[in-house]
Amino acid sequence: MLGGSGHDTFVLGDVAESYYDNKGGSDVSDAGLIVDFNPDEDFIQLKKLTDGSTYVVAPGPNSTAGNEYTTDILISRPNQPLELIASVQSVKNLNLNDSYFVTSLDGNKKSGIYIY
């Protein structure tokens, strides 16, 4: 997913579903890829989880190779492997409690371009 200039909202889920959740583990070919996220002006929209699952952010597997790094967004479900939802390129230290993460139930549409 590639945003434009100014505020962008990268939509990884809505009220009904998490778009990249195939409930089958961490297959990178089934995950979203965000290539130009700016935590100072952009947003990542996630589905609000209501089934006891939680989101997790972690360094991506190539984060130790030279200057390349990614942050992965995953779903953690009880007694199941982590599900990779998206990788965010060139961004470190994302925090699920920061205001750039929004859920589909927040009710406040963010201004800017929506990227699906």
Q: What pLDDT, in 10s, does the model give residues 41-89?
A: 999 999 988 888 999 999 887 655 556 788 999 999 888 888 999 999 9
Task: Average the pLDDT over 12-30 and give the result.
Answer: 77
Buried b / exposed e over 17-40, threshold 16 CB at 10 Å, is: ebbbbeeeeeeeeebbebebbebe
Dig out the tokens for 7 from the structure: 């505020």
pTM: 0.85
**Sign, Cα dihedral of 48, 57, 98, 35:** negative
Provide the pLDDT for residue 52: 87
pLDDT given at position 86: 94
* pLDDT confidence of residue 38: 94
